[in-house]
Amino acid sequence: MPVTTEEPATPPAPGGGPARRLWHRISALVHELGKFGTVGAIAFAVDLLIYNALLLGYDLETLTAKTISTCLAATVAFTGNRFWTWRHRQRSGLGREYVRYFLLNTIGLGIGLTCLALSHYGLGSIWPVFTSPLADNISGQLVGTAMGTLFRFWSYRRFVFLVPVEDHPADLAGLPTPASPAAVSHPPPRVGNR
């Protein structure tokens, strides 16, 4: 009686065509966006609380308060993004990532401060209602943070938390890649003395 062996079932390799590759890229991006958004929400809460405490409790000037609160929130966000959002990505060293992160975060801060300054000092010189804490929160915390966040997500993925060229997009979603052991097809073992 002949002995037959079956190959273990392996999931299909993600290289099944352009539509399938696009689907895997989009799902990996959505997964990263979800984590980035969670970290961002926590950092936003830190930024909002510290900004309003400095603005209302310590009567600091609005741009100074926003700079301090954003720097502290950025430290919280860096920790969350490095060790959770993009933990699966290639590391280029903590110091190097930290410096790049804060250089790009400075640009993001500039975007937020520009929105706040245009509202508080530009529009506020015409309409005093734009110098109120409510107007500062809307322009700096909502509009400025939203615009800065779009820049940050793009720049962190591109310049801080890197993916090596040989990585396949499906690898980010936890699926086997053509080069991974789970996706490689092995011939059935030989049985007997053939």
* Residue owning tokens 């110091």: 95
pLDDT tens track for 151-168:
988 888 888 877 644 444
Indicate the residue type of 49.
L
Integer Cα distance of 58 and 18 in angstroms: 56
Integer Cα distance of 169 and 30 in angstroms: 12
Indicate the residue type of 166.
E
What is this structure's pTM? 0.61
Bridge partners for 90 per DSSP:
162
Contacts of 177 (CB under 8 A, 6+ apart): 13, 14, 167, 168, 170, 171, 183
139 has a pLDDT exceeding 80 = yes
The candidate with the shortest Cα–Cα distance to 131, out of 143, 116, 146, is 116
pLDDT tens track for 40-82:
899 989 999 999 999 999 989 988 998 899 889 989 998 898 8
pLDDT given for residue 193 in this prediction: 53
184 has a pLDDT exceeding 60 = no
**What's the maximum distance between 2 C-alpha atoms anywhere in the chain?**
94
Domain residue limits, the chain: 18-172
Question: How many Cβ atoms are within 10 Å of 29's Cβ, its own excluded?
Answer: 15
Residues in the chain: 194
Please state the rounded mean pLDDT for residues 131-146.
88
Integer Cα distance of 172 and 86 in angstroms: 9
Integer Cα distance of 175 and 194 in angstroms: 36
pLDDT top residue among 45 and 12: 45
- As given in the structure block, the two tokens for residue 50 are 């510290």
Integer Cα distance of 55 and 176 in angstroms: 51
